[in-house]
Amino acid sequence: MSDRFEKGMKTRRSVLGDAHVDRAEAAKTAFDEPFQTFITEGAWGSVWSRDGLSRRDRSLITLALLAAGGHWDEVAMHVRATANTGATPEEVREAMLHVAVYAGVPAANHALKIIKQTYAEMEGTP
């Protein structure tokens, strides 16, 4: 594997946790292996591994973008990742207020529903 892949996998595990990455890797097939390599190198190795923003900031930006785009499964995954990135429930709430203003109240409302459910599942109901 490339250096970018190795760096990306290290960052991915740091943010999402070993259990999540292990499940994703175990589910990987020959069909989706090129895609998994692409996101590990691109998202995790090229973007999340950069020094320009903290993991906390990247986490909040990612949650806002996912909510704005209606990517609900990814919202839940990245809420769980806040346990590793340091983004607090209060900061996530503030990010959703930005989503409401700039991307629409329905997107933020649905994201908040998922976020509350995910925090409850994490046994840290805000």
> Is the pLDDT score of 126 beyond 70?
no
CA distance 106 to 81: 23
The predicted structure's pLDDT at residue 56:
98
Average pLDDT over residues 64-76: 97
Which residues touch 92 (CB under 8 Å, ≥6 apart)?
60, 63, 79, 82, 115
In the structure, what pLDDT confidence band is assigned to residue 123 with cuts at 50, 70 and 90? confident
CA distance 20 to 48: 17
- Closest listed residue to residue 5, CA positions, set 32, 31, 59, 43: 43
- Listed by start position, the domains of the chain span 1-50, 52-126
The model's pTM is: 0.92
State the burial class of residue 89 (Cβ atoms within 10 Å of its Cβ: 0-12, 13-18, 19+): middle
Q: Assign a CATH topology to domain 52-126.
A: AhpD-like (1.20.1290)
Strand, coil or helix: what is 31?
Answer: coil
